[in-house]
Amino acid sequence: MTPLGQDLIARISRTGPMTVADYMTECLLHPRHGYYTTRDPFGQSGDFITAPEISQMFGELIGLWLAQVWTDQGAPSAFVLAELGPGRGTLMSDVLRATARVPGFHGAADLHLVEASPVLRRAQEDALQGHKITFHDHPGSLPDAPLFLIANEFFDALPIRQFQRGKTGWHERMIGADADGLHWGLGPETALEALAGRLEDTKEGQIVELNAPALPIAEDIGNRIATYGGAALIIDYGDAESIGDTFQALKDHETIDVFSSPGAADLTAHVAFGPLARAALPARASGLTPQGVFLEELGITGRARQLAAGLSGAALETHIAAHRRLTHPEEMGTLFKVLALTAPDAPPLPGLDPNPLASP
Ligand code: SAH
């Protein structure tokens, strides 16, 4: 058991079972033993690899998307360019490179990063040398201005709670401990307003997840965009609504037991985009668009061909595999979804299904 695991077992023995959300928060962000607070987990040698780390094409296309949407909205002369959970800073660095020649874009952009991990803040400063960065602990402190925001694999890292449907209502899944380690248990029946509608689309024994911290973040972003203009682009694995248990631990690119390495494995849950879109009202939500479709609409195949022309051998193989990995339905193309938010009267967005995921 990891040092954090031993701490948690002792704590549960003293003060009782903990929620999945408390467990996730401790494992990911504990000041001394947390997964994100103590390491850079990305890349081949890390535990997982994200889209911007797979290929520069991902960030370049998102950069051009942002520049197009900014232009379509009349090119506001001062705006906040923000990212939630920027990881190594690779996505933002590709966005800035791809937009360097868009007239006026860099001059108007004020760069703000929301990042909890001190280790990753340093990596982001390194990746974005030459750009002025303002860091935030929370999106609530972003300045009031048109907001162009990206969040790739941010919401999946926020702590979820899980509820299992019993005979007559919901029981929270709790984490207990004994001499053998951590184990699952169920709390007493609870009635939560957020679960009220879910008796209609679930059966006894099924699990529903609630990403409580995501909702006020979506609400805040939605209000800013509805008031000042701009757009948010949220990309993650998940679906319109939470369906079943998606809580998972990842270490060395393998899925492992969620209790086996507290603080030393990444913990995530799929994102339910419908609740985010509803929380963001009055901002207008796009339809939920598969990542593969979005990237194809933005022209990833043309860009891939252009880059391929300068490559050969192993580098070309890697490049072809990266294109496939980002877009193919059996890889990230369908599992990952894209949701965008704009002001209700904003022009249509490139690459996204226009049928809103939530309506007022
Ligand atoms: N967007 C990056 C990294 C995704 S990993 C990429 O695509 O590669 C999740 C990121 O969110 C990390 O940077 C992590 O430190 C950050 N993060 C996780 N929980 C957070 C929280 N509660 N507040 C701010 N940042 C958080």
Q: What confidence score (pLDDT) does residue 246 get? A: 97
pLDDT score of 41 more than 80? yes
Would you say 146 and 80 are in contact if contact means Cβ atoms under 8 Å apart? yes
Concatenating the DSSP letter of every residue in 178-222 gives: ETTEEEEEEEEEE--GGGGGGGSS--TT-EEEE-TTHHHHHHHHH
CA separation for the pair 134, 66 (Å, rounded): 19
Ligand 1: distance of its center to the CA of 306 in Å? 31
Specify which residues 256 forms β-bridges with: 249
State if residue 154 touches ligand 1 by the CB under 6 angstroms criterion. yes
Q: What confidence score (pLDDT) does residue 179 get? A: 86
Ligand 1, residue 83: give the atom nearest the CA.
1
Ligand 1: distance of its center to the CA of 289 in Å? 22
Q: What is the mean pLDDT of residues 11-21?
A: 97
CA separation for the pair 36, 8 (Å, rounded): 17
CA separation for the pair 23, 19 (Å, rounded): 6
State if residue 120 touches ligand 1 by the CB under 6 angstroms criterion. yes
Q: What confidence score (pLDDT) does residue 197 get? A: 86
pLDDT score of 182 more than 80? yes
Q: Is the dihedral of CA 222, 228, 229, 235 positive or negative?
A: negative
Residue identifier of the C-alpha nearest atom 13 of ligand 1 = 87
State if residue 291 touches ligand 1 by the CB under 6 angstroms criterion. no
Ligand 1: distance of its center to the CA of 36 in Å? 8
Render pLDDT for 262-320 as a digit per residue (tens, 0 to 9).
Answer: 999 999 999 999 999 999 999 999 999 999 999 999 999 999 999 999 999 999 999 99
List of residues 6+ apart from 325 with CB closer than 8 A: 54, 55, 331, 332
pLDDT score of 145 more than 80? yes
Alpha helices in the chain (DSSP H): 3-15, 20-29, 35-38, 51-54, 56-72, 90-99, 105-108, 118-127, 214-228, 273-280, 291-297, 300-308, 313-327, 332-335
State if residue 86 touches ligand 1 by the CB under 6 angstroms criterion. yes
Ligand 1, residue 51: give the atom nearest the CA.
7
Q: What is the mean pLDDT of residues 31-51?
A: 88
State if residue 157 touches ligand 1 by the CB under 6 angstroms criterion. yes
Residues of the chain with pLDDT > 70: what percent?
100
pLDDT score of 160 more than 90? yes
Residue 237 φ/ψ, nearest 5 degrees: -85, 140
Render pLDDT for 319-348 as a digit per residue (tens, 0 to 9).
Answer: 999 999 999 999 999 999 999 999 999 999
Q: What confidence score (pLDDT) does residue 66 get? A: 98
* Confidence grade of residue 360 (pLDDT, cut at 50, 70, 90): confident
State if residue 87 touches ligand 1 by the CB under 6 angstroms criterion. yes
Residue identifier of the C-alpha nearest atom 2 of ligand 1 = 87
Render pLDDT for 76-117 as a digit per residue (tens, 0 to 9).
Answer: 999 999 999 999 999 999 999 999 999 999 999 999 999 999
State if residue 57 touches ligand 1 by the CB under 6 angstroms criterion. no
pLDDT score of 43 more than 90? no
Ligand 1: distance of its center to the CA of 115 in Å? 6
Ligand 1: distance of its center to the CA of 165 in Å? 31
pLDDT score of 144 more than 90? yes
Q: What is the mean pLDDT of residues 227-248?
A: 96
Ligand 1, residue 153: give the atom nearest the CA.
4
The best mutation among 44, 115, 234 to test binding of ligand 1, ranked by most ligand atoms within 8 Å of the C-beta, falls on 115
Residues of the chain with pLDDT > 90: what percent?
91
Q: What confidence score (pLDDT) does residue 42 get? A: 84
Q: What is the mean pLDDT of residues 240-244?
A: 90
CA separation for the pair 272, 277 (Å, rounded): 9
pLDDT score of 44 more than 90? no
pLDDT score of 249 more than 80? yes
What does the mean pLDDT of the chain come to? 96
Residue identifier of the C-alpha nearest atom 21 of ligand 1 = 116
Q: What confidence score (pLDDT) does residue 147 get? A: 98
Ligand 1, residue 37: give the atom nearest the CA.
15
* Confidence grade of residue 46 (pLDDT, cut at 50, 70, 90): confident
The best mutation among 24, 35, 36, 215 to test binding of ligand 1, ranked by most ligand atoms within 8 Å of the C-beta, falls on 36
